[in-house]
Structure 1
Amino acid sequence: MRTCASSCAFCLGSCYSDSSRAAFIPANPAARAAPFDDPEWIFELKYDGFRALTVIENGRAQLLSRNGHPFASFSALAESISDFLPNATAVIDGEICSLDRRGRPQFKNLLFRRGNPPCFFVFDLLTCDGMDLRTERLIDRKQGLRRLLARAPADCPLKYTEYIDGSGMALFQRVCDLDLEGIIAKHKSGPYVAERENSTWFKIRNRGYSQMQGREELFERERHKEPVPGWHSCDLACASLEAVN
């Protein structure tokens, strides 16, 4: 593990400045057509929501989009994270989701601010207590993330993303059966890198996922400034367009 130097872009003492936000670039998984099995890989659900990094400094949390923009519409979620981790200093990668009564993500609920309050499914730990963890093995970072969340009570909106060890094909079949978005494959020993060409992560989409129907049309209307009833685009437009990936 390496301690962040004062000049490091991830120095948490200045994590809320405009210049440092540009350094918070989430890992970008490459696309893969088919699932696979491999004992050196883990497999997670691909949650359907807004990708975000939560930057926590001395218990104060801020949620940033994939392009470093603050998620003003999820300020209440950020405040909840702050309340549940009052002594934490960390940068955590995850996905903002709204779950239905069956525990399935409902993407449009985020756009239209309906349904259950949003939660944050977290799956990677970039820094913690002044330590830069990005060069550490994925499996070690996930263990660190689990330890960090052990400080939080069960009703915390931060939800640890569980994984399946080695068996991507069975998980993907289950995802398709349940009409979920897909899975993410990650090499156990991989570092945290932002560039897709160097990524040790793969996203494998469920091509029959029903919630993708009509989504591109919705975003196209927003690009052309056409009104979408009920969508608070003034707050979510930027983040929503970033979500098409």
Structure 2
Amino acid sequence: MPQRKTSAAADRQPAKTNRLKRQLRVATNNPATRRRSSTANKRLTEKFAWIVEKWRRQFNHKRRSPMPHRLPPMLASTVEQPFNDADWQFEIKWDGYRTLAYLSSGKVDLRSRNQLSLCAKFTEVAEALAKWPVNAVVDGEVVVLSENGRADFGALQNWRQTQSGTLVYYVFDLLWLDGIDLQKEPLTVRQEVLKSLIPEGGVIRFSESIDEAGIDFYEAAAQNGLEGIMAKRKSAPYRSGTRTKDWYKIKLETRHEAL
């Protein structure tokens, strides 16, 4: 675990504290999914084509690689105490199902960390991703948000029966994009590419993070009744199948994921 580090910036936290409070309120913002017109769909396709070409030019030194299948996700080690560190970022630890999504020519395969198919269980997520005109491998967490904006694990388990709450796929990493293997790129680069792909509103959302202020973020998470926080080294590559010390989970309560 990193040693606690403080800096002049860390000692002056009002702006960052306000930002993390906004991040903790993000779950209560549930925009309705709007049906897109054919013109809007065309614009979305054009936008994706432009974005993919932009990143392909940036990574033109990379040899094109085939799409990976059924990658085991990168796993986090556990630490008991939060910390401040300018080389790290912190985000909400969502109480849901870890899910890797494989997008290929309009077809979507959703896989749990144990390689179980989640397509039938979360058809709304698969249908939303199928509209992305891109081939990609995305990592994230499927959750159900209750009326108070908190992830409800019980509602998630019973989603097909009750559909109580709001289903969301919070994505936080991009491993592969149209022939470009991004796993060796720094986390912040992978996130930048991923954020550029996500349409506004709807089921798919980016899991926002805050830099450096892990202790304040942890305390705010506790005050808001969340499961915990994640700490991620900003320069870290994606290490599939590895429980790494580049990612830490700092829990407030215990939850056992069945899938």
Among candidates 162, 171, 178, match of residue 122 of structure 1:
171
SS in 2 for 1:73: coil
| Partner residue, 2:36 | none
Please report the TM-score for the alignment, with normalisation by the length of structure 1: 0.74
Q: Does 1:108 align with 2:154?
A: yes
RMSD over equivalenced CA pairs, Å: 1.7
When residues 173 and 70 of structure 1 are mapped into structure 2, their CA distance, relative to the original with a 3 A threshold, is: same
* Cα offset, 1:91, TM superposition: 0.5
* Cα offset, 1:49, TM superposition: 0.4
| Partner residue, 1:160 | 206
**C-alpha distance in 2, partners of 1:4/1:104?**
40
When residues 105 and 3 of structure 1 are mapped into structure 2, their CA distance, relative to the original with a 3 A threshold, is: farther
1:91 aligned partner, one-letter code: V
When residues 106 and 118 of structure 1 are mapped into structure 2, their CA distance, relative to the original with a 3 A threshold, is: same
- For structure 1, list consecutive stretches of 5 or more residues without a partner in the other structure: 6-10, 217-239
**C-alpha distance in 2, partners of 1:35/1:78?**
35
Correspondence list, 1:202-217, <5 A: 202-207=248-253, 212=254
* Cα offset, 1:60, TM superposition: 2.2
Q: Does 1:137 align with 2:183?
A: no
Among candidates 216, 219, 230, match of residue 170 of structure 1:
216
SS in 2 for 1:42: strand
Q: Is the CA contact 1:30–1:196 (under 8 Å) kept in the aligned structure 2?
A: no
When residues 126 and 49 of structure 1 are mapped into structure 2, their CA distance, relative to the original with a 3 A threshold, is: same
**C-alpha distance in 2, partners of 1:38/1:54?**
31
Deviates more, 1:120-129 or 1:192-201: 192-201
**1:143-166: CA deviation from partner (whole Å, max 9, x where unpaired):** 0111111xx2x2331110110110
Deviates more, 1:196-205 or 1:103-112: 196-205
Among candidates 126, 146, 167, match of residue 78 of structure 1:
126
| Partner residue, 2:49 | none
| Partner residue, 1:241 | 258
**C-alpha distance in 2, partners of 1:157/1:65?**
18
1:118 aligned partner, one-letter code: L
Q: Is the CA contact 1:127–1:134 (under 8 Å) kept in the aligned structure 2?
A: yes
SS in 2 for 1:110: helix
Q: Is the CA contact 2:228–2:252 (under 8 Å) kept in the aligned structure 1?
A: yes
Q: Does 1:183 align with 2:183?
A: no
SS in 1 for 2:121: helix
Pairs aligned (count): 195
Q: Is the CA contact 1:120–1:157 (under 8 Å) kept in the aligned structure 2?
A: yes
1:76 aligned partner, one-letter code: E
Give percent identity, aligned residues only: 33
**C-alpha distance in 1, partners of 2:64/2:78?**
32
* Cα offset, 1:43, TM superposition: 0.3
Q: Is the CA contact 2:99–2:112 (under 8 Å) kept in the aligned structure 1?
A: yes
1:82 aligned partner, one-letter code: A
Please report the TM-score for the alignment, with normalisation by the length of structure 2: 0.71
Q: Is the CA contact 2:74–2:243 (under 8 Å) kept in the aligned structure 1?
A: no
- For structure 2, list consecutive stretches of 5 or more residues without a partner in the other structure: 1-58
* Cα offset, 1:117, TM superposition: 4.1
Q: Is the CA contact 1:98–1:107 (under 8 Å) kept in the aligned structure 2?
A: yes
Q: Is the CA contact 1:47–1:105 (under 8 Å) kept in the aligned structure 2?
A: yes
Correspondence list, 1:28-39, <5 A: 28-39=75-86
